[in-house]
Structure 1
Amino acid sequence: MRKSGVMPTLDLVDVGEHVCWIVDPLQGYAAATSAFLADGELFGDKVVIVGSLLDPLCPPAGALRDATVVDPRLVRGDGPTPDLGSMLGLVRREADRAGRQGYRALRVLAVMDQLVSPEADASALLDHELRLDELVADSAAIMVCAYGRDCLGAATLDHVACVHPRELGTGRSGPSFRMFHSGPGSWTVCGVVDSDGAAAFGAALAAATVLSPVLRLRLDELELMDAAGMRALAEAATGTSVRRIMIEGANPTVRACWEMLGYSSYEIPVELTP
């Protein structure tokens, strides 16, 4: 079972985890980066840095001794959003090589400020991060995506953060829910999906429907979904090419509210199963 929520430090990151780091350069970015890279050497991981770590982001030179640094120009292409094929292919190839080379896992730090522009499209970034989460969950890899606090707008950052199971705590008010890969065509939603997070939830669902014609949502860890969240779910089911969204593990309150709002009476391709 993958963990979710806010992490106080990168020391707690483990194999199979995909972490969002909203970076405030004034809050010890260099120190936390150094610890993350040093842990790679301690645990026998292959370390890859996507992006050039320049001051004030650069850790001490010793921490980079055995790390592979990938020029961000090889990943981002010519557009404002990372080239998905290049980025995913890089992680997949390096994860396979790490196993053959005898490493415990692949440990990746992506400096997203150098891979995306402030005008990056939120839906394209969601698609990118969902595909990364799917890949990381199914491989011996650790993925940390570091976004500068001022890299993107607040709403786009919330969209990006919500599709990472874990986030490094920086004191900001982030998304109240998480949506992450939990099996073929399956995504777990945990936390609270309310009016504040409904837009991000709808965008994450729309991006996930592209990956599978039949989408399975696990709600065992969901605390609350209000009317705005259910409306976002209904709109994603009817406004995308998905054939069906199967809801599993919904609690009695969610089921009752879905019925009360009348969604079960409409021709919406959403099925609530035990």
Structure 2
Amino acid sequence: MALLQGTHLTVAAADLRTGDHACLFYGSEAEQLAVLGSLVVAGLASRHRLLLLVGGEGPRTSCDLLDRCRIPAKASGAGRGATAEQIRILDAEEFCFHEGNIEPRRMVGRLRREADRAATDGYGGLRVIGDMSVALRGKDAVGRLLHYETLLAREFRHGFTLAVCQYDARHFEASQLKAFATAHPRSVEVEPLVRTAELRVIRTYQPHGLRVEGIVDVHTHRHLRSALEVLAPIDGDVCLDLSRLEFLDLGGLRLLVTFAGSRDGGSQVELAGLAPHLREVISLVGWDETPGLRLGANDGH
């Protein structure tokens, strides 16, 4: 999310390590499940115990979790039967509330016991993934949540536990989200669709689209093309964030323009953060008249 830019490090879900304390501010179930799936797969592969704090219609069993995140049994490393003990699922409301209010010290104490239990059971770490959106009630709920986050950061410095606190951005004010952002050294995003030495392409959800980083040339065209195919099922407008591109050759630019022209139903493809010289190229060759193509603001260079 834009409000996090410049405040702390944003990392892919699979790059988190024990000792990390990160947040996810999601705006849709699809975004939440995409990140959750990456966290679960990485946790199972690392032989961490996973502790999920879920609310509402969240998964209640390990099989429910794998199904909702579309994780095949083979991705768990040993099949679904072997994950029942590795994945523990707790009700987030029961975890957070005591006598109608959030009790930060009680919550952290419970996590401490879960960490001790995971270590005793032979796991290499405890991976806590909690949806804190359910905690918006009771006396001074936001203040108590911030206190909990501060305690959590101190608790997990020793490096055995990894915590990812999820917040549904639709239920919080912008000022509240900024306060929660400052309580986390990292924010987490979906695993890149493309991750090479030259190019990273990350799926975005607010707005729907892709963020393209690095170098697009003859060696990476096929990676960009495959990433663009992920957007094919999406109805409506999409945004391609090019503000972090280091280089985009003519062939790559043609790929983006062709993709915009192939969209059905009058939907538009915005090229955001496009460098001024690339805007000039598009105008010179007449691509700015391509149906479905919209040129967003440039990156200021």
Q: 1:96 aligns to what SS in structure 2?
A: helix
Q: 1:16 aligns to what SS in structure 2?
A: coil
Match of 2:135 among 112, 115, 132: 115
Tell me the equivalent position of 2:223: none
CA RMSD in angstroms comes to 2.9
Q: 2:9 aligns to what SS in structure 1?
A: strand
Task: Give the residue type in structure 1 aligned to 2:69.
Answer: P
Deviation at 1:101, TM superposition (A): 1.3
Tell me the equivalent position of 1:59: 69
CA distance in 1, matches of 2:20, 2:100: 26
CA distance in 2, matches of 1:55, 1:99: 26
The 3 A distance-change label for structure 1 pair 77 and 53 is: closer
Q: 1:135 aligns to what SS in structure 2?
A: helix
Q: Does structure 2 retain, via aligned residues, the 8 Å contact 1:119–1:152?
A: no
CA distance in 1, matches of 2:9, 2:30: 16
Report Cα offsets for 1:101-122 as digits up to 9, x if no partner.
Answer: 1111000100111233498543
Tell me the equivalent position of 2:15: 12
> Does 2:119 correspond to 1:99?
yes
Match of 1:50 among 29, 53, 78: 53
Tell me the equivalent position of 1:34: 37
Match of 1:162 among 170, 173, 182: 182
Alignment of 1:70-149 (within 5 A): 70-77=90-97, 82-117=102-137, 120-149=140-169
Task: Give the residue type in structure 1 aligned to 2:161.
Answer: A
Q: Does structure 2 retain, via aligned residues, the 8 Å contact 1:19–1:144?
A: yes
Alignment of 1:163-178 (within 5 A): 163-169=183-189
> Scaled by the length of structure 1, what TM-score is found?
0.54
The 3 A distance-change label for structure 1 pair 131 and 68 is: same
Deviation at 1:123, TM superposition (A): 2.8
CA distance in 2, matches of 1:159, 1:80: 23
> Scaled by the length of structure 2, what TM-score is found?
0.49
Q: Does structure 2 retain, via aligned residues, the 8 Å contact 1:21–1:147?
A: yes
CA distance in 2, matches of 1:121, 1:77: 10
Deviation at 1:154, TM superposition (A): 1.0
Q: Does structure 2 retain, via aligned residues, the 8 Å contact 1:20–1:145?
A: yes
Tell me the equivalent position of 1:222: none
CA distance in 1, matches of 2:183, 2:100: 20
CA distance in 1, matches of 2:186, 2:138: 23
> Does 2:173 correspond to 1:153?
yes
Task: Give the residue type in structure 1 aligned to 2:38.
Answer: A
The 3 A distance-change label for structure 1 pair 10 and 79 is: farther
Q: Does structure 2 retain, via aligned residues, the 8 Å contact 1:122–1:159?
A: no
CA distance in 2, matches of 1:171, 1:156: 21
The 3 A distance-change label for structure 1 pair 110 and 161 is: same
Tell me the equivalent position of 1:21: 24
CA distance in 2, matches of 1:70, 1:55: 10
The 3 A distance-change label for structure 1 pair 157 and 38 is: same
Q: Give aligned pairs, total.
A: 169
Task: Give the residue type in structure 2 aligned to 1:59.
Answer: C
CA distance in 1, matches of 2:150, 2:188: 18
Deviation at 1:26, TM superposition (A): 5.6
Structure 2 unaligned segments of length 5 or more: list them.
1-6, 60-64, 77-82, 190-203, 207-301
Q: 1:150 aligns to what SS in structure 2?
A: helix
Task: Give the residue type in structure 1 aligned to 2:179.
Answer: H
The 3 A distance-change label for structure 1 pair 55 and 151 is: same
Q: 1:28 aligns to what SS in structure 2?
A: helix
